[in-house]
Amino acid sequence: MAARPVSRRAALLGASALGAFAVPLSAAAGTARATTTAKPKPTSSLGSYRAAYHYTIPDNWKNDPQRPIWIDGAYAYYTLYNADYITGVEGTSWRLATSPDLVEYADQGVALPKDTTPAGDAWSGSAVVDENNTAGFGAGAVIALVTMEPDATTNSQAQYLWYSTDKGRTFSPHGTDPVLPNPGVKDFRDPKVVRDTERDRWVMALAERNKIGLYTSPDLKSWTYRSGFVRDGYGTLECPDLFRIEAADGTWHWVLAASANGTQSGLPATYAYWTGTFDGETFTADTDAPQWLDHGPDWYAAVTCEKRAADGTVDPAARYAFAWTNSWEYPNNTPTLIADGFNGTDSVTREITLKRAGDGTYFLASRPTPALDAYVTRTKKFGDVTVDGTKKLDYTGTSYEIRGELRWTPGTTENVGFQLRKAPGGIRHVDVGVYVKGGFAYVNRGGTLYPGGTRETRTPVPADSGRLAVRILVDRTTIEVFLGDGRYVHTHQAFGLPGDNVVALYASGGPAVFGGLEIVEYGLG
């Protein structure tokens, strides 16, 4: 097959693959700075940068996750994978991993191949279990709706059907023609298919530049356009998501979401979502502007899926969510390629629930999946620690979680937080804390090696609240910060050098207390 022009989705080895190590060790601007499984072996003297308790692709490249589905007591998780990344050949397939809990995974290899039909490689989409044989491939067949682009020089992005009769282990194409052809537009991709049980049909949400198109089908083969949800100012609304969830107060709501780019307005480039209603054809949002499930720079192409018990029972009031911890602004800038021969890490799986705010609006709250607790190998408790200045903790590590509560005196304390992945000499570190005078929490990676883009992200914290619960998940290339009631999360890539393993606490303008402080370590495999 002739090579196609390079596109944003083409997983190529870029010349900037080592760019992370060229980023200056610059300090962050402003006042939000601190006062003074069995894994493949690493292939470099750098040591390993492979995450200890996050999903990573075994080799080469991964990008978009595909929504996990439940089959025979485990989640089947597909991700876009390029086996030819290191050699510089483009194109992705779907690689499968299985997991009982979306924490520990077993790799199953490529399930949906690339470049075996005239349509080329496989992009994002979604798989469903066709329990009622609506598509005609047998009850329980796994059906994947996948975007493919036969010719990148024309408007040819379209949706193709692949099917599996071996429980999602391998897929075959349903002919060579799309089941949803391109109507003549540039962006027409990333189908997310859900079952509308109330109306006994399938619903598809599709990325169409500034619009999420909504389609319905009785059989996954023939699709009818119903409506479009349009929002300008957020780039292409990619990797859409659509689900129904029961809020904590017992009310039911629909959520429509997409990976979007709000950076021109000072907003994140992560998972934007709207709460609202869906009548089977049209989604009506509660508010015009979206909310964001993550406020860091590195939580993209996110997916959510049903939260299931071991027996398969679905929790109507919670879902799981995770994302690709990277950004299209600097996708190749990671030391994992040299150190470990791969480029592709996911965020930790989080549990999301819908809560009602004091003003009557609803928001998605996040917390790390409780399933992580089964993998705890060590807990070190520090209790309440009072700091006035800087204090080094009696702990070193590169993969762990910090749990505790920041407490400060309103009107006195100015800045309080953590220095993480700190070099023994103190030069490199990532800062996570609250700038009390400014009324915001922040994550600042500007003091260490990072891939590019945003150095610091901020979310509001009332200065007079005097306290903020924190959970900070640190792994070899990522830092994920969960704040307060879970409304605000920050996910950052940061690349400490070997030996950057110190944890320090700081408070300026007056003392602060790090309440109930403990550090938890996890072990997989």
Residues designated catalytic: 64
The residues facing 243 across adjacent strands are: 255
Residue 326's φ and ψ, nearest 5 degrees, are: -165, 180
Sheet holding 141-148, edge to edge: 125-130, 141-148, 158-164, 172-173
- Taking the C-alpha atoms of residue 365 and residue 494, their distance in angstroms, rounded to an integer, is 24
User: 10 Å Cβ neighbour count for 399?
Assistant: 18
Our CA dihedral for 122, 126, 127, 133, rounded to 10 degrees, sits at -110
Q: Which position has the token pair 């193709």? A: 160
**CB count, 10 Å around CB of 119?**
21
Six token digits for residue 362: 């609803």
**CB neighbour list of residue 126: distance below 8 Å, 6 or more residues apart:** 66, 67, 144, 145, 191, 192, 193
Token pair listed for 384: 């309440």
Comparing CA positions, the residue from 72, 66, 195, 71 lying closest to residue 134 is 195
Q: How many other C-beta atoms can be found within 10 angstroms of the C-beta atom of residue 233?
A: 12
Q: Could you report how far apart the first and last alpha carbons of the chain are, in Å?
A: 40
CB atoms within 10 A of CB 71: 18
Q: What is the DSSP string of 240-306?
A: EEEEEEE-TTS-EEEEEEEE---GGGT--SSEEEEEEEE-SS-EEESSSSPEES--SS--EEEEEEE
- Nearest alpha-carbon partner for 440 in 504, 488, 387: 488
Contact 436, 415 (CB under 8 A): yes
Nearest Cα neighbor of 239 from 23, 66, 358 is 66
Could you give the dihedral angle defined by the CA atoms of residues 261, 262, 263 and 264, in that order, rounded to the nearest 10 degrees?
110
347 close to 491: Cβ distance less than 8 angstroms? yes
d(CA 6, CA 25): 32
DSSP letter at 346 equals B
Tokens 């070190």 found at: 380
